[in-house]
C-alpha cells in the first residue's frame, strides 16, 4: 500500500513538487552556467533561489505529510485500514522520489556541466543527497508530522524563529562562550547538532506515526531546538581531544615550539603584503579596545608545512595578582624557506585595562591549540583567463576583477575540499611571488553543505596585485600578470597539538604596531 | 461486538466520560443518545482508537480498542459528521484510493450505492455540500460490507429529504451488520434502533433493548372513588406521580402485563378504573432522564 498512498500524495501535491524541483534546477543552472559556481553564496539571485528552493522543499514535504495529518481527530485515514508503517514509508518515498530525486538529478547535471566525470558527479551527488535527506528533509518530515496545516507550520516556524533569534541575540559573540564556532573544528559542533537533529527527527516521527503523541512530539521538538542552540556552547577541550584522535600523523608536531621573541621588534605591516587600507586597519584603535602585536617565533617547522591556530586562551596577570582573560586572534604561519617563522598575532585589550597596564610589566600566559599541516600538492594556472581542473581542488578559473586590482580565483569541487590552502601569484620567469594567502577551513572528513541545493563546493580568493593608492608595491604587478600564474597549494592535516607560552614580564605598550612605510 | 468496561476519559480536568459500561450485541442497531456534549463522539473516538481512554477499556470486535489494527478497521465502517476527506480528490478518485485497502470491497455495490445516493463521481469532495459529504462518507463505509457500522451524528445538519435517502440506503444495506449510531435526536433513531443507551454529562444513565424499554413503560391513570392522593409509600418503579381530582397519574417503569385492581387498592384506595397506555419513546426518555438525574433507578 506504500506505493498506493504515494500515488495519492503525488496526485495531490505534484504541482508543489514540480515548483520546488524547478527552483532547484534553476539554481543549478544559474550557479553552474550563468555564474560558473563562483561565489554561489554571495550572489544575491542565487542566494534567493537557494532560500526559495529550501522553502519550497519544506512546503512540498509539509503538503504531502499533511494529506494524512497526524494531529487532530477528524482525519479520514484514522478510521481506514492503513498501516502506520505504510503511511510513514509512503511519506519517505515521496520525499525520496519527489524531492530528493529531482535535486539529485540537478546535482549531477550541474556537476557534469562543470566538467566533472560521471563517477565523480554521481559520488558527490549521492553524498550530498544523503546528507540533505538526513539533516534537512527528515527534520522537515518530523516537523510536518506535528502540524496539521499551513497555519500550524507558520505558527510553529514563527515560534521557533523567535526562540532562535532571542537566544542568538542574547549570546555575545565571544570565543569563550562559543569556542568551537568558526574554527576548523566547527564540523564537530555541526555534526553533533546534526546527529541530535536526525535522532530527534526520527524519535518525533516514530512517536507521531506509531503512537500519535503530538503533544510529546511538539515538546520534544522544542527541547531539540533548545539543544541545538546549546550545541554552539560546546566546550573546547573535548572537541579538540576528539579532533586529535583523528590526526593522520600523531606526534609529527613534537619538534614544533612557540616562543616569545622580543628581538624581532614591533609589528610593521610589510610593504606589498597588504593594501594600504589593510595596513592602516592594523593601527586602528577605538574607544573600547587597543591592539598590540606580540612577536611569536615558531621553530621546528618543516619547510613544506604550516601551523594553524585553532584556539587560544590568554591570561593576563598584573603585578598585584589580578587576572584578566583576553582573546588572541587566531593566526597561521608557514615557514619561508627556513624551519622557523615569525608571526604577530593580534591581542585586543579593553581600553580601560590597557591604559592601566600598558607601561607596567604584566605576566602573560597563552594556551595555544594548534594544527600542523603539510604540503600535499602544488598546482598552477595562468593568472589571466586560466581554466583548469585539478585533483582534490576541482575546476578553477582566473580573471582580473573589474577594479583591476586583484586576480580573482574561483574554484568548484564536486564534494570534499582539502582543509588548508595557500594561494599566491608567481611570476614564472623570475620566480618572484606576491605574499601568499594561507587559510584553513574545516577539518571535517565529510564536507558537503546540505543547505546548498547542489553538491558542488565553491571556493575562491582575490589575489591583490595593485594598490589603487600606489602606496603598496607588489613583486607581481599588473604588468607581469601575463607571465604569471596563480599557485594553489593544498595542505593536509598531520597533527593537532597544544603549546603553552608564558611571558613572565612584558610591557604591552611597547608592542603597538608601527606605521607602515 | 462492543463492550465498554468502566470507560473514563479526561481532557485536562474535565471528565468527558465517567465510568461507561455498555455492551453492543452482535446484529443490533444500538443507539447512543444524548445531548450535545454528553460524550457520544468521545465514546466513538475511543472505540476507533482516535482517543485513548484515561481509565478502563473498550473491546471492539474482540480487540482492545488501543490495539485495534488495520485488520479490525477493514471490518468497520465509520461515518461522522466531522470526517475530513481529501477535498481535492473527486468522489471517484477517493473511492479508487480506498478500494485496495479493503479485501471485501464490492465494486458493484459501490456503483449501486453511488447511483442510489446520486453522488457525482467527477465532483471534488471539497465542492460537495454537507449532505452530499455525509452521503459520500456513507458511500465509503458500505461497499466493503462492514461487520460493524459506526455512525456518529450522521443526520446532523441534513435536510429531511437527504436524511431519508441516507436512512433508506443504510437500512437497505444493513443486513447482518451491527450498527452503532449516535444522535441527539430521538426521532432519528425511532424505528431503527434495536437497543438504546442514554448518555448524560459523560455518564451512561441506562441502556436497554428497545422492545424491553417500550414494553415495560406505561403511562398509568388510576381513577378512584374519592379524591386521589399519592400513596404514603410510592413504589420505586412509579415515576412522575401526580394527582388531579380523583385521578392519580404516574409512569410505571416495570409494567409486566395487566394491573389487577387489588394491587392498587391497598395503595390508593377504591379503584374505579385503570388506564395504562404505551408511551412514546420521547416520553420514556424524559422520564428516565429525570429519574436518573434525581438519583433514582428506572
For the stretch B269-296, pLDDT in tens is: 788 888 888 888 888 878 877 776 666 5
Instruction: Say how far apart CA A133 and CA A224 lie, in whole Å.
Output: 18
Nearest residue of B to residue A81, measured between CA atoms: B70
Nearest residue of B to residue A82, measured between CA atoms: B70
Residue A224's φ and ψ, nearest 5 degrees, are -65, -45
Would you place residue A275 in the very low, low, confident or very high pLDDT band (cuts 50, 70, 90)?
low
- A74 chain-B contacts, CB cut-off 8 A: 80, 82-84
Grid coordinates in use for A53?
528552493
| pLDDT given at position A95 | 96
The answer for A 27-56 residues in CB contact with B (under 8 A) is: none
Contact (CB, 8 A) for B2 and B58: yes
- For cell 459500561, the residue is B21
CB atoms within 10 A of CB A149: 14
Least confident of A63-67, A141-145, B131-135, B291-295: B291-295
**Over residues A132-156, mean pLDDT:** 91
- A149 chain-B contacts, CB cut-off 8 A: none
pLDDT at residue A40 above 60?
no
Would you mind telling me the total number of residues written for chain B in this entry? 298
Whether A81 and B74 lie within 8 Å, measured CB to CB: yes
Express each pLDDT in A321-340 by its tens digit. Answer: 899 998 888 888 887 656 66
Would you place residue A342 in the very low, low, confident or very high pLDDT band (cuts 50, 70, 90)?
confident
A69: closest CA among A221, A222, A225, A214? A214
A496: closest CA among A243, A188, A189? A243
Work out the percent of chain B whose per-residue pLDDT is above 90: 40
Whether A80 and B86 lie within 8 Å, measured CB to CB: no
Strand partners, A498: A369
Would you place residue A316 in the very low, low, confident or very high pLDDT band (cuts 50, 70, 90)?
very high
Selected residue with higher pLDDT from A451 and A291: A291
Instruction: Say how far apart CA A16 and CA A326 lie, in whole Å.
Output: 52
pLDDT at residue A281 above 80?
no
Provide the shortest C-alpha distance from residue A84 to chain B (in Å): 9
A-B contacts (CB, under 8 Å): 48
Which of B11, B44, B45, B86 is the best mutation test for A, with the most CBs of A within 10 A? Answer: B86
Using a CB–CB cutoff of 8 Å, tell me whether A12 touches chain B: yes
Work out the percent of chain A whose per-residue pLDDT is above 90: 44
Contacts of A169 (CB under 8 A, 6+ apart): none
Contact (CB, 8 A) for B114 and B91: yes
Interstrand relation of B148-152 and B76-80 (parallel, antiparallel or unpaired) = parallel
A263: closest CA among A296, A293, A291, A298? A296
Whether A82 and B101 lie within 8 Å, measured CB to CB: yes
- C-alpha distances in Å from residue A414, one per residue of A16, A118, A119, A389: 28, 11, 10, 11
Grid coordinates in use for A221?
521538538
Q: Determine the 3-state secondary structure of A421 from DSSP.
A: strand
| pLDDT given at position A273 | 47
Express each pLDDT in B11-66 by its tens digit. Answer: 988 998 999 999 999 988 899 988 888 899 999 999 999 999 999 999 999 999 99
Longest alpha-carbon distance in chain B: 74
| pLDDT given at position A336 | 67
Whether B73 and A79 lie within 8 Å, measured CB to CB: yes
pLDDT at residue A37 above 90?
no
- A213 chain-B contacts, CB cut-off 8 A: none
Express each pLDDT in A229-268 by its tens digit. Answer: 888 888 999 999 999 999 999 999 999 999 999 998 888 7
**Residue in B71, B78, B86 nearest the CB of A79:** B78
pLDDT at residue B190 above 80?
no
Express each pLDDT in A357-377 by its tens digit. Answer: 989 999 999 999 999 999 999
Express each pLDDT in B64-109 by its tens digit. Answer: 999 999 999 999 999 998 889 999 999 999 999 999 999 999 999 9
Whether B100 and A1 lie within 8 Å, measured CB to CB: yes
Would you place residue A177 in the very low, low, confident or very high pLDDT band (cuts 50, 70, 90)?
confident
Contact (CB, 8 A) for A348 and A284: no
Using a CB–CB cutoff of 8 Å, tell me whether A162 touches chain B: no
Interface confidence (ipTM) of the complex: 0.85
Contacts of B253 (CB under 8 A, 6+ apart): B216, B217, B237, B238, B239, B287, B288, B291, B298
| pLDDT given at position B192 | 80
Would you place residue B118 in the very low, low, confident or very high pLDDT band (cuts 50, 70, 90)?
confident
Contact (CB, 8 A) for B9 and B65: no
**Residue in A8, A79, A81 nearest the CB of B102:** A81
Q: Determine the 3-state secondary structure of A442 from DSSP.
A: coil
| pLDDT given at position A183 | 86
Selected residue with higher pLDDT from B289 and A52: A52
Using a CB–CB cutoff of 8 Å, tell me whether A287 touches chain B: no
The answer for A 415-434 residues in CB contact with B (under 8 A) is: none
Selected residue with higher pLDDT from A400 and B281: A400
Whether B50 and A82 lie within 8 Å, measured CB to CB: no
Cα of A166 vs its chain's centroid, Å: 23
Q: Determine the 3-state secondary structure of A113 from DSSP.
A: helix
Express each pLDDT in A94-127 by its tens digit. Answer: 999 999 999 999 888 888 888 888 988 898 888 8
Provide the shortest C-alpha distance from residue B83 to chain A (in Å): 5
Nearest residue of A to residue B46, measured between CA atoms: A73
Least confident of A28-42, A94-108, A439-453, B274-288: A28-42
Amino acid at each position: 500500500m506504500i506505493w498506493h498512498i504515494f500515488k495519492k500524495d503525488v496526485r495531490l501535491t505534484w504541482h508543489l513538487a514540480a515548483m520546488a524541483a524547478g527552483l532547484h534546477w534553476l539554481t543549478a543552472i544559474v550557479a553552474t552556467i550563468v555564474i560558473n559556481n563562483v561565489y554561489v553564496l554571495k550572489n544575491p539571485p542565487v542566494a534567493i533561489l537557494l532560500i526559495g528552493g529550501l522553502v519550497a522543499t519544506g512546503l512540498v514535504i509539509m503538503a504531502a505529510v499533511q494529506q494524512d495529518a497526524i494531529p487532530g481527530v477528524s482525519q479520514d485515514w484514522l478510521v481506514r485500514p492503513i498501516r502506520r508503517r505504510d503511511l510513514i514509508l509512503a511519506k519517505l518515498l515521496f520525499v525520496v522520489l519527489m524531492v530528493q530525486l529531482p535535486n539529485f538529478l540537478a546535482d549531477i547535471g550541474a556537476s557534469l556541466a562543470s566538467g566533472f566525470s560521471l563517477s565523480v558527479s554521481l559520488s558527490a551527488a549521492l553524498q550530498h543527497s544523503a546528507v540533505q535527506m538526513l539533516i534537512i528533509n527528515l527534520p522537515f518530515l518530523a516537523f510536518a508530522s506535528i502540524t496539521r496545516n499551513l497555519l500550524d507550520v507558520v505558527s510553529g516556524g514563527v515560534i521557533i524563529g523567535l526562540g532562535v533569534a532571542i537566544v542568538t541575540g542574547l549570546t555575545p559573540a565571544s570565543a569563550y562562550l562559543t569556542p568551537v564556532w568558526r574554527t576548523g573544528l566547527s564540523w564537530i559542533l555541526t555534526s553533533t547538532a546534526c546527529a541530535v537533529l536526525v535522532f530527534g527527527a526520527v524519535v518525533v516521527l516514530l512517536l507521531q506515526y506509531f503512537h500519535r503523541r503530538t503533544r510529546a512530539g511538539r515538546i520534544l521538538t522544542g527541547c531539540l531546538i533548545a539543544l541545538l542552540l546549546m550545541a554552539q556552547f560546546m566546550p573546547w577541550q573535548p572537541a579538540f581531544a576528539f579532533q586529535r584522535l583523528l590526526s593522520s600523523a600523531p606526534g609529527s608536531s613534537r619538534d614544533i615550539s612557540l616562543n616569545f621573541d622580543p628581538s624581532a621588534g614591533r609589528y610593521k605591516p610589510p610593504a606589498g603584503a597588504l593594501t594600504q587600507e589593510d595596513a592602516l586597519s592594523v593601527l586602528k584603535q577605538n574607544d573600547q579596545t587597543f591592539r598590540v602585536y606580540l612577536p611569536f617565533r615558531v621553530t621546528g617547522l618543516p619547510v613544506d608545512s604550516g601551523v594553524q591556530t585553532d584556539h587560544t586562551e590568554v591570561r593576563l596577570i598584573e603585578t598585584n595578582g589580578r587576572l584578566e582573560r583576553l582573546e588572541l586572534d587566531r593566526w597561521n604561519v608557514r615557514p619561508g624557506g627556513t624551519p622557523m617563522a615569525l608571526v604577530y598575532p593580534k591581542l585586543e585589550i579593553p581600553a580601560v585595562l590597557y591604559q592601566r597596564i600598558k607601561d607596567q610589566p604584566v605576566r602573560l600566559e597563552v594556551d595555544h591549540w594548534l594544527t600542523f599541516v603539510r604540503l600535499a600538492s602544488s598546482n598552477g594556472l595562468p593568472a589571466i583567463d586560466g581554466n583548469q581542473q585539478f585533483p582534490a581542488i576541482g575546476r578553477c578559473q582566473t580573471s582580473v576583477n573589474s577594479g583591476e586590482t586583484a586576480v580573482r580565483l574561483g574554484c568548484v569541487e564536486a564534494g570534499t575540499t582539502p582543509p588548508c590552502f595557500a594561494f599566491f601569484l608567481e611570476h614564472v620567469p623570475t620566480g618572484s611571488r606576491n605574499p601568499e594567502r594561507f587559510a584553513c577551513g574545516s577539518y571535517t572528513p565529510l564536507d558537503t553543505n546540505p543547505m546548498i541545493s547542489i553538491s558542488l563546493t565553491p571556493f575562491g580568493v582575490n589575489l591583490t596585485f595593485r594598490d589603487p593608492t600606489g602606496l603598496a608595491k607588489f613583486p607581481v604587478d599588473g604588468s607581469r600578470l601575463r607571465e604569471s600564474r596563480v599557485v594553489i597549494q593544498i595542505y593536509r592535516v598531520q597533527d593537532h597539538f597544544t603549546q603553552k607560552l608564558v611571558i613572565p614580564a612584558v610591557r604591552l605598550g611597547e608592542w603597538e604596531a608601527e606605521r607602515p612605510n | 461486538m462492543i463492550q465498554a468496561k468502566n470507560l473514563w476519559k479526561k481532557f485536562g480536568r474535565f471528565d468527558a466520560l465517567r465510568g461507561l459500561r455498555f455492551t453492543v450485541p452482535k446484529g443490533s442497531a444500538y443507539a447512543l443518545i444524548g445531548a450535545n456534549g454528553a460524550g457520544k463522539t468521545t465514546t466513538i473516538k475511543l472505540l476507533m482508537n482516535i482517543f485513548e481512554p484515561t481509565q478502563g477499556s473498550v473491546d471492539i470486535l474482540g480487540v482492545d480498542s488501543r490495539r485495534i489494527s488495520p485488520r479490525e478497521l477493514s471490518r468497520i465502517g465509520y461515518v461522522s459528521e466531522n470526517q475530513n476527506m481529501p477535498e481535492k480528490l473527486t468522489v471517484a478518485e477517493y473511492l479508487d484510493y480506498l478500494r485496495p485497502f479493503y479485501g471485501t470491497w464490492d465494486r458493484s455495490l459501490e456503483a449501486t450505492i453511488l447511483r442510489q445516493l446520486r453522488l457525482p463521481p467527477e465532483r471534488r469532495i471539497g465542492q460537495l455540500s454537507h449532505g452530499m459529504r455525509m452521503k459520500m462518507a456513507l458511500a465509503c463505509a458500505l461497499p466493503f460490507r462492514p461487520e460493524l457500522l459506526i455512525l456518529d451524528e450522521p443526520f446532523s445538519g441534513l435536510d429531511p429529504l437527504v436524511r431519508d435517502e441516507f436512512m433508506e440506503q443504510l437500512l437497505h444495506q444493513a443486513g447482518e451488520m451491527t450498527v452503532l449510531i449516535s444522535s441527539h435526536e430521538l426521532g432519528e433513531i425511532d424505528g431503527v434502533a434495536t437497543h438504546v443507551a442514554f448518555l448524560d454529562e459523560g455518564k451512561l444513565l441506562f441502556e436497554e433493548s428497545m422492545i424491553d424499554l417500550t414494553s415495560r413503560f406505561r403511562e398509568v391513570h388510576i381513577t378512584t372513588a374519592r379524591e386521589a392522593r399519592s400513596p404514603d409509600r410510592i413504589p420505586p418503579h412509579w415515576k412522575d406521580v401526580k394527582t388531579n381530582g380523583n385521578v392519580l397519574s404516574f409512569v410505571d417503569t416495570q409494567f409486566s402485563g395487566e394491573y389487577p385492581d387489588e394491587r392498587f387498592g391497598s395503595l390508593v384506595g377504591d379503584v374505579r378504573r385503570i388506564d395504562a397506555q404505551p408511551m412514546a419513546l420521547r416520553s420514556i426518555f424524559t422520564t428516565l432522564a429525570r429519574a436518573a438525574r434525581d438519583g433514582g433507578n428506572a
